[in-house]
Amino acid sequence: EERAPLFEAMGVPHDDALEMAAGSDATMGSCILDLYRSSTPNPHQHWGPWSATSAPGLVLHPTEDPFGDEKMAAEVADSLGARFKRIDGAGHFWPYQAPDKAVPILESFWDSLD
């Protein structure tokens, strides 16, 4: 429960923040920190050249995510031949913060796959 205020400060509703905090342990924290530390400043440097894929793709960019980079996300989408969609006003935890904005984007993408 002590981590719940951190999640709440990032826009996660109280009950969801409590649930997330309950599932967070030292191993998860260590893994997340290792990921963050390994991804600065270029998280995809070791991936090699990107090219379009035949699989449909969607890259989402929550506009208020302090860890996101809209330009990089758009470049990734373009390189892969994927669609790029912004989730305006949403942060890092957009499924909790803006499901009303994300669901239509996801449903439109999924409907296009039929």
Indicate if 65 and 88 belong to the same structural domain: yes
Indicate if 59 and 105 belong to the same structural domain: yes
Q: What is the structure's pLDDT at 29?
A: 84
pLDDT in tens, 73-108: 999 999 999 999 999 999 999 999 999 999 999 999
Indicate if 68 and 29 belong to the same structural domain: no
DSSP string covering the chain, please? Answer: -TTHHHHHHTT--HHHHHHHHHT--HHHHHHHHHHHHHTSS-TTGGG------SS--EEEEETT-TT--HHHHHHHHHHHT-EEEEETT--TTHHHH-HHHHHHHHHHHHHTT-
Indicate if 59 and 32 belong to the same structural domain: no
Distance CA 85, CA 60 (A): 5
Full residue range of the structural domain in which residue 70 is found: 52-114
Indicate if 21 and 58 belong to the same structural domain: no
Q: What is the structure's pLDDT at 57?
A: 96
Indicate if 73 and 37 belong to the same structural domain: no
Indicate if 33 and 76 belong to the same structural domain: no
pTM recorded for the entire structure: 0.77
Indicate if 114 and 63 belong to the same structural domain: yes
Indicate if 6 and 56 belong to the same structural domain: no
Indicate if 39 and 57 belong to the same structural domain: no
Indicate if 56 and 39 belong to the same structural domain: no
Distance CA 19, CA 48 (A): 38
Confirm if 76 and 65 have CB atoms less than 8 A apart: no
Overall domain count for the chain: 2
Q: What is the structure's pLDDT at 41?
A: 66
| CA nearest neighbour of 80 among 41, 36, 44 | 44
Q: What percent of the chain has pLDDT over 70?
A: 93
